[in-house]
Amino acid sequence: MPRVSALYIVKNEEEYLPFSIQSIHGAVDEIVIVDNGSTDRTPGIARSFPKVKLLISDAERTPTPRCGTFRTGRDGSAPAPARTSRRCGTWASPT
């Protein structure tokens, strides 16, 4: 059976992230969140949801992948193929 993944790329989204995750939590099998250097509570909020796979990203470091690989650009962004390769599901919905 196909698995559905949601993908977030975030930075300092503590105010909106919980509501956004709650709105899709029942519709997806996993939620991959790439945090681009948040200085607020965003990573902790992401970790509080059981379906979330959190990746902390910066230009100097590559996280250990659980599914596929991930590498960021020097400005903290990631090319589209790198972003989507982190998901494990058959279908991905960028959010």
Q: Which helix (H) or strand (E) holds 19?
A: helix 17-24
Spatial CA neighbour of 24 closest among 86, 91, 80: 91
Domain count, the chain: 1
Give dist(CA 82, CA 20) in Å, integer: 23
Summarize pLDDT for 18-72 with one digit per residue, the tens: 999 999 999 999 999 999 999 999 999 999 999 999 999 864 444 444 444 444 4
Residues 65-82 have a mean pLDDT of: 47
Confidence class for position 94, pLDDT limits 50, 70, 90: low
Cα angle: 19, vertex 36, 52; to 5 degrees: 45
Range of the domain at 36: 4-94
Residues 6+ apart with CB under 8 A from 63: 55, 56, 57, 70
The CA-atom distances, in angstroms, between 21 and each of 58, 59, 64 are: 23, 26, 23
List pLDDT tens digits, range 5-22.
Answer: 999 999 999 999 999 999
